[in-house]
A and B are shown apart, each in its own frame.
Chain A
Amino acid sequence: MQTPPEDKTIIELFQRGGSHAHKAFHILVDQYGDVLYRQIRAIVRNHEMTNDILQNVLLKIYQHLGNFKGESALYTWMYRIARNETLNFLEKEKRRSGVDLDAPVLEILAGHHLLDHLDEERISAWFQEAIDSLPEKQSIVFHLKYFEEMQYNEMSKRLNTSEGALKASFHHARQKIEDFILQRLNHL
């Protein structure tokens, strides 16, 4: 199995311009397109909207990748673009149609004395709110570990961060999300 090119290789290829940039962009979408898609879709829960947002996200990535300085990992940079685009889109959509787009991303399994009285839409909304309140790094790590089930060694390469730091980030993120939801549940 062929090893996928590293981010640095993709960026260098892109910055050579012309057909090289096109090739680099194909590789980039090939490697990250599905992750970005799921990141967006986890929030909007609708393919058409996810498609619109992802187009904007990829367009921005294409337009600005040439100026990418590598101050953060490539995925961190793209995650930020996708997150901002999604939140902006949702804000506009809510204003325009008044439709609540927070479709459930979680399913509640019976047996918890507090969760049993809650509907999935509400717990999903709190869950998303809790993720949004996290520091960016923890939010990314949580997303990749919880939704993408990415291995720490793979994540370490993608985010240029040690595995130990990633495990700590995930642990903190998980704890904060739980505290956030419990706090809401206790105030019901």
Chain B
Amino acid sequence: MKENNTIWDHLRKRPVETPDARYFEALTTSILQEQKPKVVPIYRRTIVQIVTAAVAASIAIFIYFRPAPEPPAENVLLALQDIPHEDVLAYVHTHIDEFDIDMLAAAIPSENIETVEIAPASEETVIEIPSDAKADINFENIDNQDILEYLESEEVDLYELDI
């Protein structure tokens, strides 16, 4: 018979052993465990790292490009003490017209304004520069009389100044 001659009658599949249900349950559980989202420490999250880097860069740029702060007036005066006396006097002579009248007036204690007598101004004031003089531009060291004379010569009304 033809049917008996087919190869299928002479081949038999070998049984494949299959594990029991517990195997498949364990396999499923292990795969689901693997698929759980992993907890990433906050410092390792990309977004946190990017933001941190951006903030650090902003701070660095700000520090690099920020305008230098203006030193307080007291610091300026202290710094001026290091300048040789001759240089200071030379500067004052050259820039006498730009001198800050308000500053000069503020240096005079208010109780002295009415008590100090102002001598008539001479035609010309010559400032002697002692070679061994110490540079000290603190207005407390300048005679009030000198300041008032200067202000008088400039026709400044002390009562109109904002001091």
Contact = CB atoms under 8 A, between A and B. Distances in A.
B18 A112 contact: no
A62 interface: yes
What range describes how many residues of B lie at the interface? 20 to 34
B27 A54 contact: yes
Contacts, number: 81
Given A34-B24, A115-B10, A181-B7, 12 more contacts: A22-B32, A38-B16, A38-B18, A47-B17, A51-B27, A55-B31, A58-B28, A62-B32, A106-B11, A111-B9, A115-B7, A147-B16
Contacts of B13: 105-107, 146-147
A25 B32 contact: yes
Contact of B10 (A29, A59, A112): A112
B155 interface: no
B10 A108 contact: yes
A33 B28 CA distance: 9
B11 A59 contact: no
Nearest to A116: B10
B9 A109 contact: yes
Nearest to A26: B28
Nearest to B20: A34
A30 interface: yes
Nearest 5 pairs between A and B by C-beta? Answer: A112-B10, A33-B24, A29-B28, A107-B12, A38-B16
Contacts of B27: 29, 33, 51, 54-55, 58
B14 interface: yes
A1 interface: no
Contacts of A146: 13
Interface string A108-120: 1111100100000
Interface residues of A, number: 37
Contacts of A123: 11
A148 to B, nearest CB: 10
Contacts of B7: 112, 115, 178, 181-182
Interface in A43-67: 47, 51, 54-55, 58-59, 62-63
Contact of A111 (B8, B10, B21, B28): B10
Interface in A75-127: 104-112, 115, 123, 127
Contacts of A54: 27
B97 interface: no
A110 B12 CA distance: 11
A104 B10 contact: no
B3 interface: no
B18 A37 contact: yes
Given A106-B13, A107-B11, A115-B10, A59 B19 contact: no
B34 A109 contact: no
A115 B11 contact: yes
